[in-house]
Chains A and B, each alone.
Chain A
Amino acid sequence: MSTAASSAHASAGITVRDVTKVFYRGKEPLTVLDKLNLEVTPGQFVALMGPSGSGKSTLLNLIAGLDRPSQGSVQVGQSSVSNMADSELAKWRSQNVGFIFQTYNLMPVLTALENVELPLLLTKLSGAERKKRAQTALRVVGLEDRSTHYPRQLSGGQEQRVAIARAIVNDPSLIVADEPTGDLDRQSADDILTLLTKLNTDFGKTIVMVTHDPAAAERANVTRRLNKGQLS
């Protein structure tokens, strides 16, 4: 992460413009997001809150380039995410987005270090270089001594920290987190939030986090609430 400060795309701004997302349940259209606008400045830490079904996860998916809007545009840094083809999106995600999931989603057959190294397999880096970077990322989350452990040998909080290391190993300009503390006890949750705050302040990462937890939202610079597909 020592290179993070000098990186050209250390952080990215986000512009969501007039985005509508319609899902179909059978033939019944269901408008999840309705002409939604959102501006995130580079280096901001934004919390998205709202009741179930308010569309916050859908918005997160659109920003992260996992899905495309039915109408409107999503711009992340210099990239127009809503206009990219699937394969372009995949490449873009691998270089620009770090993911943190509620259920950590580590590969059970890989060690902590190998899990962190996983996204780097998509780069042209040498094996030694990949290992070095993965170790660096594990150090950032304070788990360098757990590098040979398998996920089942780690606690929930530790697993989530490995997942965070995985999210930052490719030095993304944007980190998206979907309920990162949802499965954790208070103490572990606080550790994770501290870590996210550090990534935001020390490394200047733009972070978008979906959460139910007011304590988590407090750590963000800005909290936006969604209700019935609209920001309030």
Chain B
Amino acid sequence: MNIPLLAARNVTRNKLRTVLTTLGVAVTVLTFVLIRTVVAAWYVGVEAASKDRIATRHKVSFIMQVPKNYADTIRQVPGVQAATWAQWFGGKEPNHEGEFFATLAVDPKTTLEVYDELVVPEEQKKAWLENRQGILAGDVIAKKFGWKVGDRVNLVGTIYPGDWQFEVSAIYTAARKSIDRSTVYFHWDYLNESLPEQRRDKVGWIVSRIDDPGKSATIQASIDQTFDARDIQTLSQSERDLNNSFLGMMSAVLGALDIVSVVILIIMGLILGNTIAMGVRERTTEYGVMRALGFSPRHIATFVLGEAFTLGIAGGAVGLAIAYPFVNQGVGLAIEENMGAFFPYFRILPDTAIAAMVMALVLALVAAVIPAWQASRLRTIDALRQVG
């Protein structure tokens, strides 16, 4: 037996209360982890964004197009290794009307060069490149729609009206988190040829890969410079900034979630503080006895803090033990499957788990500071007098 152990032993005194407190802290830890995971999942796109990619689009609005031949010009800009283009198609799967997913008309060959994290079996890759009506679909969306390689499928265009016939040529997975697994890619040529003359040869944006991520800002500037005198000016952003600007529009939600995270921590602190304060009040006599035996005020404070620490650890550990299967095997999988376009990666990050544990411990200690101080300040004879 030693002093820290003695402190920890005190949690066994009122078992029901200890169990309840542990559960209370565990629930708040779980909630905290869940909220932070939502926030983290939002930032995954930013964090995982490739540093060596730049997106260039119409300066005025993302709904306006740039000429396809801008891609050729961009390839000439020093530092640019490869460039490809894409057009937002906004397709809908007739059997899954409410499902949101990205449908992009792209240039297949250069897309695979620029997005080298797309993992496609060699055989399927070849098939997709050769089939003008071929689709390259993410494994998550393919699974949801029940698509298999070789299937003939229909998509309804929201921006380009009509029924569009495709064949699923290939299914990709992602080597990195920088790309979601719910996108449908098809040949831009197929779209372009079906358009009336005056709408042809325009694309939504151009993505280029650069040789040195450190020069990203310079290269963005020189791309935009190149088109400055043209009719259509461009706005180039690193993939990271692009994802960030989407987050910017959700910043109020993220801010609200931050506030909610703080609120949950306050609740956690209240639960812990309440339990600790009650324990201290009930044990006044004992502290008096210990003081009489020669334990110092500092020892008494240590007992209270040690007990709080134990509660914090227990609550944090139980909370994480629930949170991991709950999020990583339960909610997370469901979200990745159903909302993959928004949250391609919804898992507890190690940082989140560590933060939750640290917060539980810190809050336990903070909540114990006042009771510990009060307990240590008790006059020995007053504390003993409470005997009865």
Contact = CB atoms under 8 A, between A and B. Distances in A.
A91 B296 CA distance: 8
Contacts of A101: 289, 384, 387
A86 B2 CA distance: 23
Given A66-B380, A87-B296, A110-B9, A105 B291 contact: no
B384 A90 contact: no
A121 B291 CA distance: 13
Contacts of B1: 110, 114, 117, 121, 127, 130
A90 B294 contact: yes
B64 interface: no
A122 B6 CA distance: 13
A119 B387 contact: no
A69 B3 CA distance: 32
Nearest to B8: A109
Given A90-B294, A90-B295, A109-B12, A103 B381 contact: no
A90 B298 CA distance: 11
B3 A66 contact: no
Interface in A127-160: 127, 130
Nearest to A61: B381
Nearest to B12: A109
Which of A64, A86, A103, A107 lies at the interface centre, i.e. has the most chain B CB atoms within 10 A of its CB? Answer: A107
A61 to B, nearest CB: 5
A67 interface: yes
Interface string A94-122: 11010101110101111000100111011
Interface residues of A, number: 31
B259 interface: no
Contacts of A121: 1-3, 6
A30 to B, nearest CB: 15
A127 B380 CA distance: 28
A67 B381 contact: yes
A50 B289 CA distance: 24
A93 interface: yes
Contacts of A99: 289, 292-293
A214 B382 CA distance: 28
Which of B2, B10, B291, B380 lies at the interface centre, i.e. has the most chain A CB atoms within 10 A of its CB? Answer: B380
A150 to B, nearest CB: 10
A147 to B, nearest CB: 12
B286 A94 contact: no
Contacts of B384: 66, 101
B296 A93 contact: no
Interface of B: 1-3, 6, 9-10, 12-13, 285-286, 289-297, 299, 380-381, 384, 387-388
The 8 closest A-B pairs by CB, nearest first: A94-B294, A105-B289, A93-B294, A109-B9, A119-B293, A90-B296, A66-B380, A99-B292
Interface of A: 61, 64, 66-67, 86-87, 90-95, 97, 99, 101-103, 105, 107-110, 114, 117-119, 121-122, 127, 130, 166
7 contacts: A66-B384, A67-B380, A92-B294, A105-B387, A119-B293, A130-B1, A166-B293
